[in-house]
Amino acid sequence: AQSVTQLGSHVSVSEGALVLLRCNYSSSVPPYLFWYVQYPNQGLQLLLKYTSAATLVKGINGFEAEFKKSETSFHLTKPSAHMSDAAEYFCAVIGGSGNTGKLIFGQGTTLQVKP
Amino acid sequence: NAGVMQNPRHLVRRRGQEARLRCSPMKGHSHVYWYRQLPEEGLKFMVYLQKENIIDESGMPKERFSAEFPKEGPSILRIQQVVRGDSAAYFCASSPRVGETGNTIYFGEGSWLTVV
């Protein structure tokens, strides 16, 4: 069965600092992995996804993530944090065959950006 | 191209009443998914539907919850005899037809249910 673990429920960085949000997955099949962002009282917006093409995936808003099979990780990074990046971030893996939208989500990481 | 549309955005119900949440998928999408987000928790899968069919309801509570996606009209998540523990954000998502590897699913803005 697939699962996702996000290390750190809260991460705080200064504006302009590196953002690193950690995600480890467990999957018995090649995984499809996603990062979503959720702003307060809003739905989820897709940041990026990994579907077994390039291991370094670039997303929107300057975010990127690297798939590392040996470490079963898919950490999200951004070189320089902006105040508008403050939100909750969810890592997810498709649970089951690759053709379903049955996503298994991590618990989420709240990113705080300090001025 | 309109996104996934959910209504109502906010719904308040008294204990014992019924809650109906509606979801219209993105144009051209024939697959609908419902997720629930409890306070301070991540999203949990509830049910996956195609037109007139429930494909996977492994995340649905056994009682009081039902979902449908009729041939015409939106998908509906129905909660009967609501209790305080049903208070949550309910998100609908949709995706294109089966066959696309690693389908991206698109989420609606959510419906926030408060049971008083």
A15-64 pLDDT, tens per residue?
A: 999 999 999 999 877 788 999 999 987 888 999 999 877 889 999 999 99
User: What are B27's two structure tokens?
Assistant: 């144009």
Distance from the Cα of B34 to chain A's closest Cα (Å) equals 9
The shortest CB-CB distance from A43 to any of B56, B101, B109 is to: B109
**What mean pLDDT is predicted for residues B65-76?**
95
Q: Is B97's pLDDT higher than 90?
A: no
Amino acid A75: pLDDT = 97
Distance from the Cα of A14 to chain B's closest Cα (Å) equals 24
Q: Which positions ≥6 away from B94 have C-beta within 8 Å?
A: A101, B4, B23, B25, B26, B29, B31, B32, B33, B105, B106
Q: Is A98's pLDDT higher than 70?
A: no
Amino acid B98: pLDDT = 58
Amino acid A27: pLDDT = 80
**What mean pLDDT is predicted for residues B89-113?**
82
Amino acid A42: pLDDT = 83
Q: Is A99's pLDDT higher than 60?
A: no
Q: Which positions ≥6 away from A69 have C-beta within 8 Å?
A: none
Distance from the Cα of A20 to chain B's closest Cα (Å) equals 19
Distance from the Cα of B98 to chain A's closest Cα (Å) equals 6
Residue A3 with chain B: CB contacts under 8 Å: none
**Interatomic CA distance for residues B41 and B39, integer angstroms:** 5
Q: Is A5's pLDDT higher than 80?
A: yes
A67-71, B39-43, B82-86: least confidently modelled range: B39-43
Amino acid A51: pLDDT = 82
Detail the DSSP E strand segments found in B1-116.
5-7, 10-13, 19-24, 31-37, 43-50, 53-56, 65-68, 75-79, 88-95, 106-107, 111-115
Q: A27 vs A86, which has greater pLDDT? A: A86
Contact (CB<8Å) A103/B41: no
Amino acid B23: pLDDT = 97
Q: Is B103's pLDDT higher than 70?
A: no
Task: Please give the residue of chain A at the shortest CA–CA distance from B33.
Answer: A101
Beta bridge partners of A10: A110
Residue B102 with chain A: CB contacts under 8 Å: 32, 49, 51-52, 94, 98
> Would you place residue A74 in the very low, low, confident or very high pLDDT band (cuts 50, 70, 90)?
very high
What integer best gives the mean pLDDT of chain B?
A: 91
Contact (CB<8Å) A41/B102: no
Q: Is A101's pLDDT higher than 90?
A: no
| Interface contact A3, partner B, CB < 8 A | no
Amino acid B100: pLDDT = 54
Contact (CB<8Å) B33/A44: no
**What mean pLDDT is predicted for residues B31-47?**
90
